[in-house]
Amino acid sequence: MTTCTLCDLPTGSRSVREEGVDGEFCCRGCLEVHRLVEDADDPDDPALLAEPESAEEPVDPAVTDDDLETAFLSVEGMHCTTCEAFLEATATDVKGVEDARVSYATEMIRLTYDPETIDRADLPGAVSGVGYRASEPGEARSESGSVFERYRVALAVLLSMPVMAPYLLFVYPTYLGIYPESFLYGQTIRTMVFVPLAVWSTLIVLGLGYPILRGAYVGLAVRRPNVDLLVAIAVLAAYAYSMAAFVVGSRHVYFDVAVLVLVVVTVGNHLESRVKRRAVGTHADLAAAHETTVRKQGADGSFASADRAECGPRDRIRVNAGDRIPFDGTVVEGTATADEALLTGESVPRSVAPGEAVVGGATLLEGSVVVEVGEDASSTMDRLVELLWNVQSTNVGAQRLANVFAVAFVPLVLAVAAGATALWLAAGLGTAESLMIGLSVLVVSCPCSLGIATPLSLAAGSARAADDRTIVLSPTVLERITDSEVVVFDKTGTLTTGEMAVEDVTADDDRVLALAAAVEERSNHPIAEAIVEAADGGLEQTVEDFDRERRAVSATVDGRKVRVGHPEAVRSAGWEIPDRFADAIETTRERGFHPTVVGRDGAVVGVVALRDDPRENWAEVVDALSAEGRRIVVLTGDDERATRWLDDHPAVDEVFAGVRPESKEAIVRRLRSEGTTTMVGDGTNDAPALARADMGIALEGGTDVAMEAADVVVLDDDLGALPGVFETSRTTRRRIRQNLGWAVGYNLLAIPLAVAGLVNPLVAAVLMGASSLLVVVNSSRTGSE
């Protein structure tokens, strides 16, 4: 099988070659990108040929064993990136599961399994456990989990009140000398204050602290210490010391420290989960787009319902109007009109007839066909699903960096705390006082401000974006980029409205448009709708014998035969096309419009030029982005003549026409080697490219799949909001750096103070809280500085 020189995808029957360019390509877009690389000053420069250093290579999805199957599951309860390694190890321990790949970014797990060993229905139960719950994509979350997530912060504050109130009323005043110390040792105070403190603290540490304790356990299980481990150690140390002190009758207990640390961390984790969860759900929507049942031809020639998984190469499937074609294949019977715009980006639906190839995932607008399944029994939609999984499963950003930092930071802090305790003991300080110094080191170094520095900044950036009528679905994009050197636009539905409209009519008779509308009124093709709308009623005519042909429709109108459709369809029917109208057809194409001819009684009498209308403000937006030094690129499945108006615009640097959907992702990947890249699109075919780009922006009027794959959705389909997205990104990135700088600086100052014995655990907890408060204030302030 021949593969594309650029993206390694199969070229199929529509391979593209060009004299002077080495190689064979799957589409014109790949050829142009290859030419771009070859024309560079140093074509062997690895930067042009490889993935940018900031991106991770996607996991190779290939499965060589034909007996294995793949399943995608949603996973509830993922707490941090360490969960990925833990769940992968847990899943592969299950008999029959050959491979597992987990994405914390999308809360999904991809399992490669042997259906002879384990049933598909048993997979969720095999993966669930230790606080994780796996389910089919789109299945409702567990009620207990959703309630806890929704009210996590409120529960944290409410549960802390029974602990903090006694400290504020009795314990702190005694420490400050307002009450004599003997006041705390009375039996009544012990019963009213310290017994409830011990009970409530135990419940809070075990209940509210469960996600953090589990995260710490997972980190230890996979030998990757994380921030949760340090938090858990600080909380458990404060709790264990306080419980031991309470049992022996001491009143110097630090239950408040354990509770305060948990509350601060819980708030931070909740904010992170909230801003991340909005990006989850892509695979549920993609799975919904798949046909689960098909009408398969049996041995007797009849068609009956069958499961999609039961179909193989050369099986025959009947597809009716309104149905989605389940597999790539070839039409063997019937004619129809296929809407491939979501998959290929081509704005005009395509007529298909016996012998022509069709792509899985396209929808039949009208007609009925029998499709013979292709050799690999897969569909273009299947490949987009797999491609989108690989792209979105990469995980980058400051939050991941925080967990990487914890791998070194956690052992270091533990060593410092243990060393400080040992040194003070050796210096003659009492055991209790030395332990307090060690505990102070653990508490003061608890990286709460580090943990909330990123999610708080992202939440604030998302709020600022919402004020500008843009919704940030994947807020981590705001930390990944400060600007975009390359902005890539899809054409159909993005720079254009995606709806066909009549541009002009070439005819000798001004009734030609009404004549065409009389026939097209009985069709549901987008071009037909545009003609009917432009005719706006017209002459009252009698229409009989309507017939839907390949790439044309015909009928008898007021006793005369009328045919409307593609020029080649009318010509192949033997109808004459006078030179005047042949010239009009060619002129229409040169202008980038779509010609539709109208014939009567065996001869063409008019040409209707239709176009996909550009958005009103597209030029202003492109000009504004280009003026800031960005390179503007357009990708489209339409041919070159339909994009000439874009080529002629001075702000547009490159137009790649005739691009296949899989190739869009490959082209964006190559463009990223030239600089930070933003992709703007609206269709399902744009989804992998939106996910692959450093920042993907979808329009609200686009498909659900495109919006879920994107990082940002522009409301009201307003392209004018794009410049504001880049400004919000720059501001958010700046705030994240400021917060992380403060968090690291705080630890560099506070830990030495704790080692020197200058702060006790309570003061350490207060300092930790103050550090987190400063991060909150900085994240939420207005302005761009």
Q: What angle do CA 624, 629, 633 make, to 5 degrees?
A: 75
- Mark residue 281 as left, alpha or beta (left: phi above 0; alpha: psi -120 to 50; beta: remaining): left
Compute the distance between CA of residue 242 and CA of residue 239 in angstroms, rounded to an integer: 5
Compute the distance between CA of residue 168 and CA of residue 255 in angstroms, rounded to an integer: 13
Compute the distance between CA of residue 184 and CA of residue 175 in angstroms, rounded to an integer: 10
Measuring CA to CA, which residue among 688, 705, 709, 714 is closest to residue 635?
688
Compute the distance between CA of residue 49 and CA of residue 188 in angstroms, rounded to an integer: 76
Contact 354, 360 (CB under 8 A): no
Residue with tokens 């540490």: 205
Contact 570, 561 (CB under 8 A): no
Measuring CA to CA, which residue among 331, 390, 324, 333 is closest to residue 363?
324
Residue 23: what pLDDT?
78
Q: Is 77 helix (H, G, I), strand (E, B) or coil?
A: coil
β 594-600/560-565 pair status? antiparallel
Residue 425: what pLDDT?
93
- Kindly report the number of other CB atoms within 10 A of residue 135's CB atom: 17
Residue 563: what pLDDT?
93
Residue with tokens 């504004």: 624
The fraction of the chain above a pLDDT of 90, given in percent, is 11
Kindly state the tokens that stand for 133. Answer: 């719950």
- Kindly report the number of other CB atoms within 10 A of residue 88's CB atom: 17
Compute the distance between CA of residue 216 and CA of residue 196 in angstroms, rounded to an integer: 27
Compute the distance between CA of residue 443 and CA of residue 258 in angstroms, rounded to an integer: 9
What are the counts of helices (DSSP H) followed by strands (DSSP E) for the chain? Answer: 30, 27
Is-catalytic flag, 490? yes
For 234-253, give one letter per residue: b (16+ CB within 10 A) or e.
bbbbbbebbbebbeeeebbb
Residue with tokens 């209707």: 608
From 339, 490, 694, 711, active-site residue: 490
Compute the distance between CA of residue 504 and CA of residue 534 in angstroms, rounded to an integer: 10
What φ, ψ does residue 784 adopt, rounded to 5°? Answer: -105, 0
Instruction: Tell whether pTM > 0.75.
Output: no
Task: For residue 646, give the H/E element and its range.
Answer: helix 644-647
pLDDT below 50 — which residues of the chain? Answer: 40-64, 140, 143-145, 275-291, 342, 345, 384, 387-396
